[in-house]
Amino acid sequence: MADELDVLLERVGDAALRTDLRTAIDRIRAKRSFGLVFESHIPERVWLPDHPIRRGVMVVHRESDGELLLVDRVRDGEATLVGSDGSIEEANVEDLVVVAEFGQAIYPGLTRLGSINRGDDKPAHIVINGENHHALEALRFTHFGQIDCIYIDPPYNSGARDWKYDNNYVDAEDGYRHSKWLAFMDRRLRLAKHLLNPEDSVLVVTIDEKEFLRLGMLLEEIFRGAKIQMVSIVINAPGQARKQELARTNEFAFFVFIGEAEPVPTADDLLNDRPSGNPARIRWESLLRSGTNSRRRDRPALFYPVFVDPDGGSISGVGEAKPLSAARSTWEVPAGAIAVWPLKSDGSEGNWRASPEYLRRLVVDGHARVGRFDESGRGTIWYLGKSVQRRIASGEVRVVGTDEQGAVVVEPADDVGPRRTVAKTVWNRPAHHAGWHGSALLRALLPDREFPFPKSLYAVEDALRICVGDRPDAVVLDFFAGSGTTAHAVMRLNRQDQGRRQAVLINNNEVSADEAASLTSAGLTRGEPGWEERGIFEFITRPRVTAAVSGFTSTGERVQGDYKFVDAFPMSDGFDENVEFLKLTYLDPVDVELNRAFAAIAPLLWMRAGGVGPAIQECLDEGGRRKPYEFTRHYGVLFDPDTWRDFADQLPDSARTVFIVTDSPSTFAGIVEALPERIEAVRLYENYLTTFAINRGR
Ligand SMILES: C[S@@+](CC[C@H](N)C(=O)[O-])C[C@H]1O[C@@H](n2cnc3c(N)ncnc32)[C@H](O)[C@@H]1O
């Protein structure tokens, strides 16, 4: 194949075209050097139903959602449309909808749909109706590197028209079925990666036998260097008989541990009869990185000397990194100290697992110490990872003294309840039965509705406990929310340890293939209220989350039955939590008014500031003029930089984030300098839309 391409390339007459083609092909070859090969397919497109039909925009017919057409003229409600082959047709604007395609900038906004307030000053769980690709892009503004855990249960690509690529259901006859699924997942996982905290976070993706092989390879490609494990979860122990197959009992979950993340030990190992093994060990870890990215040239900023006092054998200082070209001899070593370098066992230069700044903090806290070392610069530096630090903070691990180096001496506390152990890679618990604790539980909440294959609430809870059980303020994202099980599980974890974890959920409002057929035969089309109210977000996600929090079913009765297992109590108690329901919208860049733009991005600012308390909405005074600034207890927006002194004086002590509207970098920098250090300042362009453009030219 490769040779054939080279031969064909030589036959291209146009030299410039030949060069361009060669560059493009070389790029593809470099990227897909092994295994996983798939097309990127046509970019998916998105409906922009609020955008006016006018000359120059691309549209589709609402009903067929087929060929893309360019609007050439609009007069008296009739549009003249040009097809890709130059054909001309007329259509009523009511029958058309604007669409955005790959490469066109689009501008996300959020509309508030409603809220539930039962959780005082806890962060609100955020539940968004939207296409997840664009919602993930919008989250780059609000949650870049801030997410502690993503749990997703994407469509399994069963061939039974269970998901849509570019607005079309994908079925078993589609020859590109697997390739389309990979393209779909690849785009979203790459976006999601930016949201995960690179230092310490976990991604969980559930899957079954249809796509687990391809998904595993995709995850390896996107999350290079992370620890990836696959767990087998028994979701139906009696087994489901299948023709010519063994009876199926399980599905899988990939756990991707990023940065320093590791499984949180729990009271149940999820496989054996009784919690087994010793209490989770307290491990000092080697600061020397091993495995991928462990050479100096992979991470030059993590190559620096640790200065050791040869007499006391303790860390006396930490040097700074230098450019890759700098030889070790160019570092100045303090008098009397020995420089210990990140050297691999073969003597080659490696790198440390922490920045100089972080290591200094570890030394001050007594969380780093020296092992063996010699004059040549070889040696071992040990440190306590984030998980042990968290266990110290929670009291599960006790500091009983300091050693001769000033490092802490730690041991497990003996009064912290059951012994904890790391969960196994095979889970076999009745609590994970999808029929009993997924479908049946959902039926208790939404007695008048059906949703295919919700996860067992307790299976999601167990997965999240392993990821964020020791982080009471974690942010958990699920962008294939379905019935909202993930938010429900987060609320249960919060109740168990009085946590303030926040769930961020995204689901679109599509209808199933069967539902679409019956709505169409009832004379409805997508976009009409009768159709939209049957969409998954409106019909399932939102009512399920509402029922779980309020304790009242979708039909208005108290929810029957009790929660089971780790925390048993009546489901009708609900949860003391806050929830904000939002809809992703797309602003029209041409005729958007400043005020409207602000209203649409206001929820994004609130989310970025933590999603706590009320949002800053309209900022107009009684005369309809924009106020110079506005704030809540948690954040502020400065519209008129000239008034920054008053703004800074009045900003409450509890505020942590401010947004400053200015096009001038120097004005911004000047104000930031004068603000207290605890404040994170974010610049917004005067034209808000410029800040939020997404989907541009990739
Ligand atoms: C397998 S379900 C998730 C079920 C969920 N874990 C539960 O327990 O209910 C996958 C969900 O992803 C949603 N979905 C699929 N493609 C999407 C997209 N592009 N944007 C947003 N949601 C999408 C579907 O509507 C479906 O509800």
Q: Given the CA of residue 536, which atom of ligand 1 is nearest to it?
A: 25
Which of 215, 480, 584 gets mutated to test ligand 1 (max ligand atoms within 8 A of its CB)?
480
pLDDT for res 679: 94
- Asked if residue 157 is part of any domain, the answer here is yes
Q: Are 352 and 358 in contact (CB under 8 A)?
A: no
- DSSP per-residue codes, 513-555: HHHHHHHHHTT--TTSHHHHTTSHIIIIIHHHHHHHHHSB-TT
Phi-psi region of 154 (alpha: psi -120 to 50; beta: other; left: phi over 0): beta
CA angle 248–254–256, rounded 5-degree value: 175
Interatomic CA distance for residues 150 and 219, integer angstroms: 13
Closest residue by Cα to atom 14, ligand 1, is: 480
- Asked if residue 390 is part of any domain, the answer here is yes
pLDDT for res 43: 63
CATH of residue 559's domain is 3.40.50.150
Report how far ligand 1's centroid is from the alpha carbon of 514 (Å): 16
Q: Given the CA of residue 131, which atom of ligand 1 is nearest to it?
A: 20
- For 8-64, write each residue's pLDDT tens digit: 888 888 888 888 888 888 777 666 555 677 776 666 777 888 788 999 889 999 888
Q: Given the CA of residue 480, which atom of ligand 1 is nearest to it?
A: 12
pLDDT for res 547: 98
Which of 205, 439, 510 gets mutated to test ligand 1 (max ligand atoms within 8 A of its CB)?
510
- For 613-632, write each residue's pLDDT tens digit: 999 987 777 887 888 999 99
pLDDT for res 593: 53
Interatomic CA distance for residues 312 and 406, integer angstroms: 10
pLDDT band at 274 (very low <50, low <70, confident <90, very high): low
- The chain-wide mean pLDDT, for the chain, equals 90
Are residues 201 and 311 both part of a single domain?
no
Closest residue by Cα to atom 27, ligand 1, is: 482
- For 97-113, write each residue's pLDDT tens digit: 998 865 567 778 899 99
- Asked if residue 697 is part of any domain, the answer here is no
pLDDT at 432 over 90: yes
pLDDT at 196 over 80: yes
Domain carrying residue 50: 46-101
Please give the tally of structural domains in the chain.
5
Report how far ligand 1's centroid is from the alpha carbon of 183 (Å): 16
Are residues 216 and 346 both part of a single domain?
no
Top-ranked range on mean pLDDT: pick from 106-115, 154-163, 629-638? 629-638
pLDDT for res 697: 43
pTM of the model: 0.81
Amino acid at 57: V
pLDDT at 591 over 90: no
As a whole-number percent, the residues of the chain with pLDDT over 90 amount to: 68
CATH of residue 89's domain is 2.30.30.140
- Asked if residue 217 is part of any domain, the answer here is yes
pLDDT for res 31: 62
Place of tokens 């230092």: 199
Task: Please give the sequence-ordered ranges of beta strands (E in DSSP) within 327-392, or none if there are none.
Answer: 338-340, 368-373, 379-384
- Asked if residue 445 is part of any domain, the answer here is yes
pLDDT band at 275 (very low <50, low <70, confident <90, very high): low
Closest residue by Cα to atom 2, ligand 1, is: 482
Are residues 332 and 271 both part of a single domain?
no
Q: Residues with beta carbon inside 6 Å of ligand 1?
A: 131-132, 153, 155, 163, 454-455, 480, 482-483, 485, 506-508, 510, 536
Mean pLDDT over 585-590 rounds to 76
Q: Which of 590, 591, 632, 627 is nearest to 609 (CA)?
A: 632
Are residues 274 and 319 both part of a single domain?
no
Report how far ligand 1's centroid is from the alpha carbon of 538 (Å): 13
Burial of residue 137 (number of CB atoms within 10 Å: 0-12, 13-18, 19+): buried
Which of 165, 507, 539, 542 gets mutated to test ligand 1 (max ligand atoms within 8 A of its CB)?
507
Report how far ligand 1's centroid is from the alpha carbon of 692 (Å): 25
Q: Are 407 and 381 in contact (CB under 8 A)?
A: no
Are residues 227 and 344 both part of a single domain?
no
pLDDT band at 698 (very low <50, low <70, confident <90, very high): very low
Question: Which of 55, 70, 101 is at the close of a domain?
Answer: 101
Report how far ligand 1's centroid is from the alpha carbon of 521 (Å): 25
pLDDT band at 536 (very low <50, low <70, confident <90, very high): very high
Mean pLDDT over 693-697 rounds to 57
pLDDT for res 25: 80
- For 371-391, write each residue's pLDDT tens digit: 999 889 999 999 999 888 888
Are residues 396 and 432 both part of a single domain?
no
| CA torsion, ordered 546, 547, 550, 556, to nearest 10 deg | 110
pLDDT for res 540: 98
Report how far ligand 1's centroid is from the alpha carbon of 556 (Å): 25
Q: In this predicted structure, which of 75-89, 124-138, 224-238, 415-429 has the lowest mean pLDDT?
A: 415-429
- For 320-336, write each residue's pLDDT tens digit: 999 999 999 999 999 99
Report how far ligand 1's centroid is from the alpha carbon of 644 (Å): 44
- Asked if residue 81 is part of any domain, the answer here is yes
- Asked if residue 121 is part of any domain, the answer here is yes
Q: Which residue would you say has higher pLDDT here, 443 or 62?
A: 443
pLDDT at 242 over 80: yes
CA pseudo-torsion sign 28, 29, 33, 39: positive
Mean pLDDT over 627-640 rounds to 93
Are residues 80 and 114 both part of a single domain?
no
Are residues 53 and 89 both part of a single domain?
yes
Q: How many residues does the chain have?
A: 698
Interatomic CA distance for residues 108 and 128, integer angstroms: 12
Are residues 127 and 64 both part of a single domain?
no
- For 199-237, write each residue's pLDDT tens digit: 999 999 999 999 999 999 999 999 998 999 999 999 999
Top-ranked range on mean pLDDT: pick from 132-136, 179-183, 249-253? 249-253
pLDDT at 186 over 80: yes
Are residues 612 and 678 both part of a single domain?
yes
Are residues 210 and 319 both part of a single domain?
no
- Asked if residue 38 is part of any domain, the answer here is no
Query: 225 φ, ψ to 5°?
Result: 90, -15
Closest residue by Cα to atom 4, ligand 1, is: 482
Report how far ligand 1's centroid is from the alpha carbon of 587 (Å): 24
Are residues 484 and 338 both part of a single domain?
no
